[in-house]
Structures are given as C-alpha cells and as structure tokens.
Amino acid sequence: MRSTRTTVAGVRAVSRSHGPGWTAARVAAALSIVAGVLALATALTGLLWRTGDGGGVVTTVWGERVVLHGQGLYRHDSVFVAGSNLGSDSVTLLLGLPLLVVAVAWSRSGSRRGQLLRVGVLGYLLYYGTGCALGAVAYNELFLLYVALFSASLFAVVTTVASIDPAPLTDLPGRARRWIGGFMIASGGITLGIWLMDPIDALINGTAPATLGTHTTLFTNALDLAVIVPAAGTAGVLILRSRPYGEVIAASLLVLEAMLLPLIVVTTIIQLRLGLSFTPAEIAGPIGGFLVLGVLAVAVLHTLLRHASGVVVGGGGR
C-alpha cells in the first residue's frame, strides 16, 4: 500500500512538472479524437456509397477469375472482400466508436483503467486503418483518408502508452497474472495456426491462396503473423514474469479480439446478402470459434481492468 501511494504521488509530481502545456496525455487525448473522427468518416462513406453498375469478372495475376462487387466504394474488391469491408465499417460505427467515446471520457480523469481501455480501442482502430491504407482494401477515392486514419491511430496508441506509468501494473495477483498471460500466449498461438493455413496450403499445392481474390498478396495474414502474434506472445511472457508494459500490450489486443465475434457475424450476414453461399459448417464453425475467443477476451479484459488502479503520467488530458 505504501509503495502504491509513493508511485501515485510521484506520477502526480511528474504531471505538475509538465505544467499546463501539451503533455503526452493531452496529445494522446487529441489524437484519439482525431482518429475517431477519421474512422467515423471512413465507416460512413463505406456504408453509404452506393453508386456502381454491378459486378464484373476479372482475371487476376494468378490467372484466377474473380467476381467483383462492382458497387460503392468497394467496387474494385471481390464480393467476398467487399462484404468483409462493409462488415468492418458496420462494427466500427456501431461498436468501436461508441466504445472509444466511453474510453476517452473515462480516461479524462487520469484513470488507468480508462487509459488501458483507450489503448485497446485505439488498437482496434489502428488495425482497421492499417488494413484500409496498406492493402486489405483495393485502392479507391478514400486512400488519403485511410492514410490519415492509419497515422492518427498509430500515434494515438504510441502517445497513450507513453502517458501510462507501467510500474503498478506489475502488481497483478498470481492467479490473475497466470490467467491473463496464459490467454495472451494461447491466443497468439491460435492466430498463428489460423493464418499459416492458406500460405502453407498454397505452397504445397503450387496455387494461389484461396482467399487471395483480386489482391496480389495476403495482407491480413502478413499483418497478423508479423505483428499480432509476436505482440500477443510478448504480452503473455511479460505478464507472467511481472514485467512492465505487458498489460499495456495486452490491452491493445484484447479489444480487437473481443470485436472478432461481431465482425464475423456481421460480415457473414452481409456476404450472404450479397449472394455468396456457405455451408452450415462454414457458418457455424467460425462463429462458434470466435464466440469462444470473444467471450474469453472480454473476461480477460475485465480481469485486467479490475486490477488496474492509479493515475496516468500527465493527468487525464483536460
């Protein structure tokens, strides 16, 4: 208890020493709002843009024939990918942005819980913006907006993390530490297995990956394998060893993992409405799997926030 009081007092002293200027917390708060506004514009435009003559068939660089969506902002994407993009826009608008408003409001008092939740929501927006800007979406009129969203959410995450004093976060009880750390390592392993299947199958058969569509590379696989999997594993190890920043990295991933269930459900509904057909097993399998992952991610996030306390460096950004 004494060490906790000392740490909080030290944090408040640092906050006062920065004066009324632009501290990391203030910059993070401003960038969070900018990222939210850009994500709102991105999602609304994707959902409301309806012009187009309908889909056509194109031949990819691999010689595969793919049916294009042919309508709206995602007219140059395949029907499958367009459905996925529309699903991401819907979930961002209906869940991601309201959750960001809650997190920003909660964190204004300097609450560590609010800041950790904001890191998580911003991590989701960063994933969303990265996909739009770097290749998950075919080039369209919103390219510069995508780049702005990618940049704003990236630096919002960086400055939010910089505003958090990580030391008290290592005081997790042993059981909670094992639960959170074990889940992060397990989720990283599951993600590794899922995203290795397509490229390994393509290597074995000498064909284009089944999910490639009109794209020239597997962007989502690359992003998850290169960033998400190592980040989840690193967070798990740091938490299990009671090292700083493990919980911060975990928070940046847990909201994304919790959002996967609504993403897969909404995306599947949209893809069915666009005329794609799936077997009952193809529908039930992913939804069931992401249901388990989503419920566990929410439970882990709740445990993490329940044990977080104190204030952030630089105050709440008011």
pLDDT tens digits, residue range 184-240? 999 999 999 989 999 999 999 988 888 888 888 899 999 999 999 999 999 999 999
Domain count, the chain: 1
Does some domain include residue 17? Answer: yes
CA distance linking residue 3 with residue 246, whole number of Å: 20
Please give the single-letter amino acid code of residue 25: A
Q: Per-residue pLDDT averaged across 107-122, rounded?
A: 89
Supply the mean pLDDT for the chain: 87
Look at residue 37 and tell me if it is in a domain: yes
Residue 16 has pLDDT above 80, yes or no: no
Establish if 312 belongs to a structural domain: no
Q: What is the distance between the alpha carbons of residues 106 and 26, in angstroms, rounded to a whole number? A: 14
pLDDT digits (tens, 9 = 90+) for 86-107: 999 999 999 999 999 999 999 8
Lowest-confidence region among 41-50, 100-109, 132-141, 309-318: 309-318
Residue 313 forms part of a structural domain: no
Instruction: Give the pLDDT of residue 310.
Output: 56
Task: Place 170 in a pLDDT band, splitting at 50, 70 and 90.
Answer: low
Whether 8 shows a pLDDT value over 90: the answer reads no
Give residue 260's domain range.
12-307
Whole-number Å distance between alpha carbons of 159 and 26: 9
d(CA 259, CA 253): 10
Task: Report the percentage of the chain scoring pLDDT > 70.
Answer: 88
